[in-house]
């Protein structure tokens, strides 16, 4: 008796039809299925099914056999799952985190660093707010994250990737879209959309920039993420100050412009725990200079395109 015999029997018992079981559950020919069930009944030594005009019914022996057949198949699947989990654990896991939206730009760069190691390791990727990435690094749930430098976390080490300038995001047909650059004074009287404290580093930079200008510019809306910012700019025809990577996610109905003054910048860093002894992390960090050089070259090109 083989597991396939049990699978065939359970499929026929549950569907009540050789035809349905063959075509929809087992994807095999009905004559082959009927032959397999006959072989099973011969091995068991009793009839398990009653074949009639209205379909298939279980005999009393078939009812008893069905319960044990299901249990055996479940145990077999559990054994398979356990073996696969054990095999996966043989590979070291390297857990990467990204500030939501940044993975599109920086995940390929990170994977390029690990290219030679990829056959030997399992890489997991998560996308979260920067404070959540901070917590995951401290707990050991992540090995490394592309994030904002979160203050007052002595357990973490940061290395600068790029300094991202703020840009103005606005509707493509907004009157200010005709300007090559936008002065902060032009925000006065406009709907101003600002990030909430879910992104505390970005919010602090924007608040300080507006405060130092001495202008009476107040936010009309606060948004928790980039998708909300894009949606509100489109629906309210307002203006938003966002890190320049937001340009990668703008639909054709929105555009971006640089500020007329020197733009404040927001650091994007890689963060990791000082206590993390992962050999994959050590390897990644040993190769980080090449990655950072590439990142800064890309950033320089992006800033040149903004200017």
Q: Domain spans of the chain?
A: 3-88, 93-161+268-300, 163-266
In DSSP terms, 96 is beta-bridged to 125, 144
Please state which architecture CATH assigns to domain 93-161+268-300. Answer: 3-Layer(aba) Sandwich (3.40)
Segments of the chain scoring below 50 in pLDDT: none
CA distances to 92, 93, 98, 279 from 117, in Å: 10, 11, 20, 11
Q: Which CATH class is domain 3-88?
A: mainly alpha
DSSP 51-120: EETTEEEE-HHHHHHHHHHHHHHHHHHHHHHHHHHHHHHTS-EEEEEEETTTHHHHHHHHHHHTGGGGGG
Q: What would the 3-class secondary structure string for 156-172 be?
A: EEEEEEEEEEEEEEEEC
CATH topology classification for 163-266:
D-Maltodextrin-Binding Protein; domain 2 (3.40.190)
What's the confidence (pLDDT) of residue 238? 96
What's the confidence (pLDDT) of residue 66? 83
**3-88 and 163-266: identical CATH topology:** no
User: What stretch of H or E contains 279?
Assistant: helix 279-286
Beta pairing class for 265-273 and 144-147: antiparallel
């Amino acid at each position: 008796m083989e597991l396939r015999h049990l699978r065939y029997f359970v499929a026929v018992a549950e569907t009540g039809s050789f035809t349905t079981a063959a075509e929809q559950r087992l994807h095999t020919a009905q004559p082959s299925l009927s032959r397999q069930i006959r072989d099973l009944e011969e091995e068991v030594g009793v009839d398990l099914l009653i074949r009639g005009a209205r379909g298939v019914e279980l005999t009393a022996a078939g009812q008893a056999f069905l319960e044990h057949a299901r249990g055996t198949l479940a145990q077999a699947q559990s054994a398979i799952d356990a073996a696969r989990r054990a095999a996966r654990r043989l590979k070291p896991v390297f857990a990467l985190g990204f500030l939501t939206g940044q993975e599109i730009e920086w995940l390929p760069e990170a994977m390029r660093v690990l290219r030679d190691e990829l056959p030997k390791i399992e890489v997991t990727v998560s996308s979260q707010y920067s404070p959540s990435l901070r917590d995951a690094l401290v707990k050991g749930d992540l090995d490394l994250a592309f994030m904002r430098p979160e203050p007052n976390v002595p357990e973490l080490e940061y290395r600068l990737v790029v300094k991202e300038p703020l840009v103005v995001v606005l509707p493509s047909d907004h009157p200010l879209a005709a300007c090559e650059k936008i002065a902060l004074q032009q925000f006065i009287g406009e709907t101003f959309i600002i990030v909430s404290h879910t992104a505390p580093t970005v919010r602090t930079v924007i608040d300080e920039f507006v405060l130092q200008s001495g202008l009476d510019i107040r936010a009309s809306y606060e948004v928790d993420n980039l998708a909300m910012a894009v949606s509100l700019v489109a629906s309210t025809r307002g203006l938003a100050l966002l890190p320049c990577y937001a340009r990668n996610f703008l639909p054709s109905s929105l555009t971006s412009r640089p500020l007329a003054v020197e733009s404040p910048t927001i650091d994007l860093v890689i963060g990791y725990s000082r206590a993390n002894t992962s050999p994959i992390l050590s390897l990644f960090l040993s190769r980080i200079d090449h990655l950072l050089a590439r990142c800064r070259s890309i950033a320089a090109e992006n800033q040149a395109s903004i200017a």
